[in-house]
A and B are shown apart, each in its own frame.
Chain A
Amino acid sequence: MTDLSQNTASEPRKHGGSLLEQTPRTKKRNAAEKRFRAYGIAAIAAGLVMLIILVTTIVGKGTGAFQQTFITLQVELLESKLDKKGERNIEDIKKVTTFGYAPIIKGAVAAAVEELGIETSLKPKKLAGILSKDAAAQLREYVLANPDQIGQTVEFRFLASSRVDGYMKGRVHRESIANDKNISPEQLDLVDALAAAGVLEKTFNLDFILGADASDARPEAAGMGVSMLGSLFMMFVVLALALPIGVAASIYLEEFAPQNWLTDMIEVNISNLAAVPSIVFGILGLAVFINYMHLPTSAPLVGGLVLTLMTLPTIIISTRASLKSVPPSIRDAALGVGASKMQAVFHHVLPLAAPGILTGTIIGLAQALGETAPLLLIGMVGFIASNAPETLADGLLSPNSAMPAQIYEWAKRADPAFYERAWGGIIILLIFLVTMNTLAVILRRRFERRW
């Protein structure tokens, strides 16, 4: 190798320097590298920050809905107002409308104020204004259920009005109520005094979770319970239809389908349906189930049918994946001992794929549970269901709302007191979703098989 020196002379090495020193160019390139890496970290951080903001907003704004301000009052159920004839005839008592209960409530508030020695310039009507408009209804319901109590003095826990509740939660301030005809500074003074006396207090509000929606004027009485049932009935329909149909379709496509145009057609359709905007399914539901088949509007059955069609592609895709993950050797083994192909699939492949199918189904259900847009079109929004359905058929066919639709409904209302309800509703909805997804993850972890 005599040409060594000649070679080095004719071609000076371009990276001739020591490895231990970084050339300026390398430094520049490494700086670019650091920048690029920083962009990546920034992107991840941006995503996570959004998540944190979202979660803290929801929790911060929504937890208030689970607490409510109540006022405990001794109410004298005056016979002179409630049952003039004194016969305790339920028909007579029923004739007294909630309007007729107002004086009793006014009296009860005034009595409490007097007893506690609170000085106020408010008239009785204004005094009672710190109570929810629901109070009279609550009182009437009690009296109708217990007519024998008329004439007695009974202790009641009344909802405070949404303004008072907002004041207790820091949502309503003295400065912000200048133009608010529903509350005055004197009333807030009274509220402070009542709170100091322990008559007015903020406690956990079970009615928000279990109760029904309330009218525009009574945000303090609105609850998620009935719409939760609506969602439940829809999920029942989705589960009952989407799971069997989805599994059957997947079995056909994965195990039996020949390579032909029909199979191709089905596959293309499934992958496209998975990406069709949900609102389009709403239009389909409106046109087919309501306009054509005349199923009742706002019924969870229709909502369930629409969500079934929407969820099917998700379930089919995940079911096929779990069928595919069962190794062919299992099928061969079953066929080898003389089982028919159908038996091999139903006796051996399907049980092995079951955990995966279940996981996919739960995730599909969670997706359906949070879906709102199609429900708007089939009229599941804006309906105020005042009481819970009693039978399965009633639950499926009588008008109802659903959790996300109920949240949307609250968000649309003018009174900001409903916003707290909407965020609170989101907490409930998310608790459902988190539970379902956790269940799916646990199932997957627990039963995941590696072949």
Chain B
Amino acid sequence: MNDMTLMEKTVDTQKIKIAAKDVNVYYGDSHAIKDVNVEIEDKTVTAFIGPSGCGKSTFLRCLNRMNDTIDICKVKGDILLDGEDIYDKRVDPVQLRAKVGMVFQKPNPFPKSIYDNVAYGPRIHGLAKNKAELDEIVEKSLRRGAIWDEVKDRLDAPGTGLSGGQQQRLCIARAVATEPEVLLMDEPCSALDPIATAQVEELIDELRSRYSVVIVTHSMQQAARVSQKTAFFHLGNLVEFGLTGQIFTNPEDPRTESYITGRIG
């Protein structure tokens, strides 16, 4: 790729968290992802953009093997997390997903209390020895989800009773509670109003200090606002990958330019 020089610059400062090599994904007979190579860095927000149906969400779901839940989905190629192939036979997807958390398009709090929503991950993974530790994890996670102040007085209230933006931040707090190393976000703001979106975007920026964040978005402005690196997908191909500023101001591929200027998409 032509932008390798740009990438090498950042490689000096951030280590590579996830490396995908020649990834192909098939849904039955349709070829959804074609030969994608990408390297995702630690403590960086990486945005996947592209027109709908371009495969960006599919690729995101490969990174924590959520595609395993779909019978007809087949993944070929290597995806390395800290140098270990996550599609290796020995890898348990359950353990992987504890390391690579995920936040979904629609806020999906469980029909439980706010506290239990956040405590769910730590409980199943056995991260807390006792109630006090669990309380601590819940508080810390809610703080990181930037929602602590809003819910600290009603931790026993059902999570489904919150507003959309609050629900999504609760889901982020829930994902953070399992102490992941990577956070995958699949269009996390598409179901939110502008004010809630702003809050979540601000939160994403804060999360960068601890996690490697990968965000799929259909909004180019959002990608520009929150990400340091951007990957542009089109018809299952990774067209261009590089520093966000570079992609938006000086794209190399004509398809990227067409998309950014609004001619395709």
> Does residue B163 face the partner (Cβ distance < 8 Å to A)?
no
> Does residue B96 face the partner (Cβ distance < 8 Å to A)?
yes
Give every chain A residue within 8 A of B86 (Cβ-Cβ): 19
The B contact surface, by secondary structure, is loop
> Does residue B32 face the partner (Cβ distance < 8 Å to A)?
no
> Does residue A21 face the partner (Cβ distance < 8 Å to B)?
yes
- Contact in complex: B179, A14 (CB < 8 Å): yes
> Does residue B171 face the partner (Cβ distance < 8 Å to A)?
no
> Does residue B90 face the partner (Cβ distance < 8 Å to A)?
yes
Distance between Cα atoms of A307 and B50 in the complex (Å): 62
Which residue of the partner chain, among A15, A21, A26, A29, contacts B179 with CB atoms under 8 Å? Answer: A15
Distance between Cα atoms of A1 and B43 in the complex (Å): 8
> Does residue A178 face the partner (Cβ distance < 8 Å to B)?
no
**Shortest Cβ distance from B74 into chain A, in angstroms?**
21
- Contact in complex: A26, B92 (CB < 8 Å): yes
- Contact in complex: A19, B84 (CB < 8 Å): yes
Distance between Cα atoms of A30 and B95 in the complex (Å): 11
Distance between Cα atoms of A25 and B13 in the complex (Å): 35
Give every chain A residue within 8 A of B92 (Cβ-Cβ): 19, 22, 26, 30
**Shortest Cβ distance from A25 into chain B, in angstroms?**
5
- Contact in complex: A19, B91 (CB < 8 Å): yes
Give every chain B residue within 8 A of A13 (Cβ-Cβ): 179, 181
> Does residue A179 face the partner (Cβ distance < 8 Å to B)?
no
Chain A residue nearest to B14 (CB atoms) is: A1
From known contacts A1-B13, A19-B84, infer whether A7 and B209 are also in contact, taking CB-CB under 8 Å.
yes
Which residue of the partner chain, among B43, B91, B181, contacts A20 with CB atoms under 8 Å? Answer: B91
> Does residue A414 face the partner (Cβ distance < 8 Å to B)?
no
Give every chain A residue within 8 A of B127 (Cβ-Cβ): 14
From known contacts A1-B13, A19-B84, A19-B86, infer whether A26 and B209 are also in contact, taking CB-CB under 8 Å.
no
Give every chain B residue within 8 A of A29 (Cβ-Cβ): 94, 124
Which residue of the partner chain, among A4, A18, A30, contacts B94 with CB atoms under 8 Å? Answer: A30
**Shortest Cβ distance from B188 into chain A, in angstroms?**
23
The proximity string for A residues 202-231 relative to B, scoring 1 for CB distances below 8 Å and 0 otherwise, is 000000000000000000000000000000
> Does residue B81 face the partner (Cβ distance < 8 Å to A)?
yes
> Does residue A390 face the partner (Cβ distance < 8 Å to B)?
no
> Does residue B25 face the partner (Cβ distance < 8 Å to A)?
no
Chain A residue nearest to B86 (CB atoms) is: A19
Distance between Cα atoms of A241 and B137 in the complex (Å): 68
- Contact in complex: B43, A18 (CB < 8 Å): no
- Contact in complex: A22, B179 (CB < 8 Å): no
- Most chain-B Cβ atoms within 10 A of its Cβ — which of A11, A20, A22? A20
Q: Place the interface of chain A in its size category.
A: 10 to 19
Which residue of the partner chain, among A4, A19, A21, contacts B99 with CB atoms under 8 Å? Answer: A19
Give every chain B residue within 8 A of A26 (Cβ-Cβ): 92, 94-95
- Contact in complex: A25, B125 (CB < 8 Å): yes
Give every chain A residue within 8 A of B96 (Cβ-Cβ): 19
Chain A residue nearest to B89 (CB atoms) is: A20
Give every chain B residue within 8 A of A18 (Cβ-Cβ): 84
Give every chain A residue within 8 A of B179 (Cβ-Cβ): 11, 13-15
Give every chain B residue within 8 A of A22 (Cβ-Cβ): 90, 92, 95
Chain B residue nearest to A29 (CB atoms) is: B94
- Most chain-B Cβ atoms within 10 A of its Cβ — which of A19, A23, A26? A19
> Does residue A3 face the partner (Cβ distance < 8 Å to B)?
yes
> Does residue B98 face the partner (Cβ distance < 8 Å to A)?
yes
Distance between Cα atoms of A14 and B177 in the complex (Å): 11
> Does residue B210 face the partner (Cβ distance < 8 Å to A)?
yes
Q: Place the interface of chain B in its size category.
A: 20 to 34
The proximity string for B residues 18-62 relative to A, scoring 1 for CB distances below 8 Å and 0 otherwise, is 000000000000000000000000110000000000000000000
Chain A residue nearest to B88 (CB atoms) is: A20
Distance between Cα atoms of A20 and B181 in the complex (Å): 16
Distance between Cα atoms of A13 and B182 in the complex (Å): 12
- Contact in complex: A19, B95 (CB < 8 Å): yes
- Most chain-A Cβ atoms within 10 A of its Cβ — which of B13, B94, B95, B96? B95
Give every chain A residue within 8 A of B42 (Cβ-Cβ): 4
Segment 136-179 of B: residues with Cβ below 8 Å from A: 179
From known contacts A1-B14, A4-B43, A22-B92, infer whether A15 and B210 are also in contact, taking CB-CB under 8 Å.
no
> Does residue B194 face the partner (Cβ distance < 8 Å to A)?
no
**Shortest Cβ distance from B137 into chain A, in angstroms?**
10
- Contact in complex: A3, B95 (CB < 8 Å): no
Distance between Cα atoms of A255 and B209 in the complex (Å): 61
Give every chain A residue within 8 A of B14 (Cβ-Cβ): 1
> Does residue B126 face the partner (Cβ distance < 8 Å to A)?
yes
Segment 83-116 of B: residues with Cβ below 8 Å from A: 84, 86, 88, 90-92, 94-96, 98-99
Chain A residue nearest to B82 (CB atoms) is: A19
Give every chain B residue within 8 A of A30 (Cβ-Cβ): 92, 94
Segment 1-53 of A: residues with Cβ below 8 Å from B: 1, 3-4, 7, 11, 13-15, 18-23, 25-26, 29-30
Give every chain A residue within 8 A of B81 (Cβ-Cβ): 19
Give every chain B residue within 8 A of A14 (Cβ-Cβ): 125, 127, 179
- Contact in complex: B209, A15 (CB < 8 Å): no
Distance between Cα atoms of A20 and B126 in the complex (Å): 19
Distance between Cα atoms of A4 and B15 in the complex (Å): 10
**Shortest Cβ distance from A6 into chain B, in angstroms?**
11
Give every chain B residue within 8 A of A7 (Cβ-Cβ): 209-210
Distance between Cα atoms of A19 and B79 in the complex (Å): 13
Distance between Cα atoms of A371 and B124 in the complex (Å): 50
Chain B residue nearest to A30 (CB atoms) is: B92
Give every chain A residue within 8 A of B94 (Cβ-Cβ): 26, 29-30
Distance between Cα atoms of A21 and B92 in the complex (Å): 8
Chain B residue nearest to A4 (CB atoms) is: B43
Give every chain A residue within 8 A of B43 (Cβ-Cβ): 1, 4
Distance between Cα atoms of A298 and B254 in the complex (Å): 86
Chain A residue nearest to B179 (CB atoms) is: A14
Which residue of the partner chain, among A11, A19, A21, A25, contacts B126 with CB atoms under 8 Å? Answer: A25
- Pairs across A and B, CB under 8 Å, 26 listed: A1-B13, A1-B43, A4-B42, A14-B127, A14-B179, A15-B95, A15-B125, A15-B179, A18-B84, A19-B81, A19-B88, A19-B91, A19-B92, A20-B84, A20-B88, A20-B90, A21-B90, A22-B92, A22-B95, A25-B125, A26-B94, A26-B95, A29-B94, A29-B124, A30-B92, A30-B94
For the complex with contacts A13-B179, A29-B124, 15 further pairs of A-B residues with Cβ separation under 8 Å are A1-B14, A1-B209, A4-B42, A4-B43, A15-B95, A15-B99, A15-B125, A19-B91, A21-B90, A22-B90, A25-B125, A25-B126, A26-B92, A26-B95, A30-B92
